[in-house]
Each structure stands twice: as structure tokens, then as C-alpha cells.
């Protein structure tokens, strides 16, 4: 059995050591394709792989066509919008994610971006504090819950909107539920996005939605760039000098956003899950899920049923 780790953005070495241990203890072989720059490198590497571990790497029909031996692909992380699920099913390939394994890392970065924004991007001028401000968590999944836990320590008031999460779960976490996205944006000084990129959510964070935020509003995006209507947000940043946008997913129109100096910040690469701990948790979980599937047929985290 050949397990390929195909990561354009590599895991920390300590995570690879852990993945290797799990794979080799099962009697399988580990192959690494890291920091690849062209799709053809991925197409060549998958040719004889029985299993693949990926991060945000794109596994589409072309990759699946090239992966003649492939039985399982595991996205070491939460969002699996980078896998063509229908094509995986058509190729009889099981697709999985590793929910929750990197969520603390993403949540810590979201809070870090909030501090950066309210301290004027650390430019030395007088900013504001998070304590006493109202935080809106847009989607209360694994990352949203961790954001709430950490934000409580900052003394923030916390609200959340999630059409798929019962109020009781939010209340139990000390979070006030609101019942529409509009309400959340209207009522919160800072909104932190934790929605997946789906047909329903793509471009849903648009001019109208963000324009509802109170004066001095901060939008934090550690979710996906696709959920932002970039033209709408650019227009709004032009109209409202008080708003800020901070993200670890560089927008397609980064060059245009850069015009809003002091009110926009993006990391060069998506880095919410770029910690040794998150890499170890998600990478080793992915390796174990592969072994469990191959040896025992366990499909617990399958996402293409």
C-alpha cells in the first residue's frame, strides 16, 4: 500500500514523523510530494498511490483519473471544498476529512487577527480593546466554538448565527444565538467567519451584509475566500472609511484591497492551521483513518456518501 502526502503547503516535520510512524507500522509505504508548483507533478505522483493525504490541494476529476489505484483521499483538515466529491464517488474513491483536528489553531489566529485590527495593524497609534466589544461568530462549528471559548477570556460579549446549530448548544457555551445573518452583522462590532464554501455560501458575504455592521466594524475571515463578494466588499471599504477586513486567505483582488492601507490585512498563505499541533493532530488523524479504512473498512468521516 502506498500512501502519498501531497501538500503544496507542507506539514511541520514533526507531523510528518508521526504520519510516517502510523503508515509504516501498518506495513505501508509513505511517499511525500511537498511544495509542488505544477499540477502535472501531482498527476504523476498520484499514479500509483492507494491513499492520499492532502490539505487545500485540489483533487478534481483529472487527478482522480490519473490515480488508477486510489481507494481513499483524506483532507487533513475541515473544509473539503477542494475535493470533487461527485468525481470521487464516480471513481469509487472514499473521501474523508478530519473534523475538529485543526480548529483551535484557526480560532487562535482569528483572535490574533482581531487584536491586530483593533490595534490599528500594530502601527503604534492608539487603538481599542476587545474587552466589552460584541463578537459575532458566523457559524458555530468546531472553529466557531473555539473562537467563543477564547473570546470569553478576552471579556467579549458573544453572539452567533448558525442555521444548522440548535440554540441550546450556543447557550450552553455562553453564547447568545441570533436567528439571521443580518441580525448578527447589525449587532456585532466584530464578525468572524466560520462558514464553509458551498453553493449556498459563495459570495454571500456581500456589500449589503457587511454594510449592516456598526461604525468601526471589523470583518475577520479565516474561512474561505470564496464566501466573500470581493467587488461588493471593495466598494463598501471605499464608501465606509471606518470598516476593516482582516484575513488569512488572500483575496483574488488582493492588489485592489491593498489600496485600503491600515484597514486591510491578508497573510501571504492561508495559515490558520499552520501550527505544529494542528499539523500533528490533522495529519496523524488522516493517516489513522486511512489505515482504519484499508484494514477494517471504517468510513466514519466519509464525506461523499
Binding site for ligand 3PG (CB under 6 A): 9, 55-56, 77-79, 102, 270, 272-274
As measured in angstroms, the least distance from the Cβ of 109 to ligand 3PG is 10
**Closer Cβ to ligand 3PG, 77 or 217, answer by number:** 77
The answer to whether 133 and 190 are in contact (CB under 8 A) is yes
45 or 54: CB nearest ligand 3PG: 54
- Provide the minimum distance between the beta carbon of 147 and ligand 3PG in the complex, in angstroms, as a whole number: 14
Q: How far is the CB of 250 from ligand 3PG (least distance, A)?
A: 13
Q: Please, which residues have CB within 8 angstroms of residue 125's CB and are 6 or more apart in sequence?
A: none
What is the spatial distance between Cα 37 and Cα 15, in angstroms, rounded to a whole number?
A: 22
Please identify, using beta-carbon distances, which residue of 133 and 270 lies nearer to ligand 3PG. Answer: 270
Spacing of C-alpha 107 from chain mean position? 10
Quote the least distance from Cβ 213 to ligand 3PG, whole Å: 24
| Complex with ligand 3PG: residue 57 or 189, whichever CB lies closer | 57
Tell me the C-alpha distance between 84 and 168, whole Å: 34
Q: Are strands 218-221 and 190-193 parallel, antiparallel or unpaired?
A: parallel
The distance of closest approach from Cβ of residue 6 to ligand 3PG in the complex, given in angstroms and rounded to an integer, is 12
Q: Which is nearer to ligand 3PG, 136 or 272 (CB)?
A: 272
Between 51 and 178, CB nearer to ligand 3PG:
51
| Distance of closest approach, residue 8 Cβ to ligand 3PG, in angstroms | 8
Q: Rounded distance, CA 226 to CA 186, Å?
A: 22
Cite the DSSP H helix spans in the chain. 13-25, 39-45, 61-66, 85-90, 103-118, 142-153, 167-172, 181-187, 207-211, 230-239, 254-257, 276-296
**How many angstroms separate the CA atoms of 86 and 305, rounded?**
10
Residue pair 264/246 in contact (Cβ under 8 Å)? The answer is yes
Identify which of residues 213 and 220 has a Cβ nearer to ligand 3PG in the complex.
Answer: 220
Strand pairing report for 134-138 and 190-193: parallel
User: Could you give the CA distance from residue 203 to residue 185 in angstroms, rounded to a whole number?
Assistant: 16
In the bound complex, which residue of the shown chain has the CB atom lying closest to ligand 3PG? 77
Query: CB 100 → ligand 3PG: shortest distance, Å?
Result: 10
Amino acid at each position: 500500500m502506498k500512501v502519498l502526502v501531497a501538500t503544496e503547503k507542507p506539514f511541520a516535520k514533526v507531523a510528518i514523523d508521526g504520519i510516517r510512524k502510523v503508515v509504516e507500522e501498518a506495513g505501508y509505504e509513505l511517499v511525500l510530494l511537498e511544495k509542488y508548483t505544477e499540477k502535472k507533478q501531482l498527476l504523476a505522483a498520484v499514479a500509483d498511490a492507494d491513499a492520499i493525504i492532502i490539505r487545500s490541494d485540489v483533487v478534481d476529476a483529472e487527478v482522480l483519473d490519473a490515480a488508477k489505484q486510489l481507494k481513499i483521499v483524506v483532507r487533513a483538515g475541515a473544509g473539503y471544498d477542494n475535493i470533487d466529491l461527485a468525481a470521487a464517488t464516480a471513481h469509487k474513491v472514499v473521501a474523508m476529512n478530519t473534523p475538529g483536528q485543526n480548529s483551535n489553531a484557526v480560532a487562535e489566529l482569528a483572535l490574533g487577527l482581531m487584536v491586530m485590527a483593533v490595534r490599528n495593524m500594530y502601527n503604534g497609534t492608539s487603538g481599542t480593546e476587545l474587552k466589552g466589544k460584541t463578537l459575532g461568530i458566523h457559524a458555530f462549528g468546531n472553529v466557531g466554538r473555539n473562537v467563543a471559548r477564547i473570546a470569553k477570556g478576552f471579556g467579549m460579549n458573544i453572539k452567533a448565527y448558525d442555521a444548522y446549530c440548535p440554540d441550546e448548544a450556543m447557550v450552553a457555551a455562553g453564547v447568545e444565538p441570533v436567528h439571521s445573518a443580518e441580525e448578527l452583522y447589525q449587532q456585532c462590532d466584530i464578525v468572524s467567519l466560520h462558514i464553509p464554501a458551498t453553493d449556498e455560501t459563495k459570495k454571500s458575504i456581500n456589500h449589503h451584509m457587511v454594510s449592516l455592521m456598526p461604525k468601526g466594524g471589523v470583518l475577520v475571515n479565516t474561512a474561505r475566500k470564496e464566501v466573500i463578494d470581493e467587488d461588493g466588499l471593495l466598494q463598501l471599504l471605499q464608501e465606509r472609511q471606518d470598516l476593516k477586513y482582516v484575513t488569512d486567505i488572500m483575496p483574488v483582488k488582493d492588489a485592489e484591497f491593498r489600496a485600503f492601507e491600515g484597514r486591510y490585512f491578508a497573510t501571504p498563505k492561508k495559515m490558520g492551521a499552520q501550527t505544529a499541533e494542528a499539523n500533528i493532530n490533522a495529519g496523524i488523524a488522516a493517516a489513522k483513518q486511512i489505515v482504519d479504512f484499508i484494514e477494517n473498512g471504517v468510513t466514519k468521516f466519509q464525506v461523499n456518501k
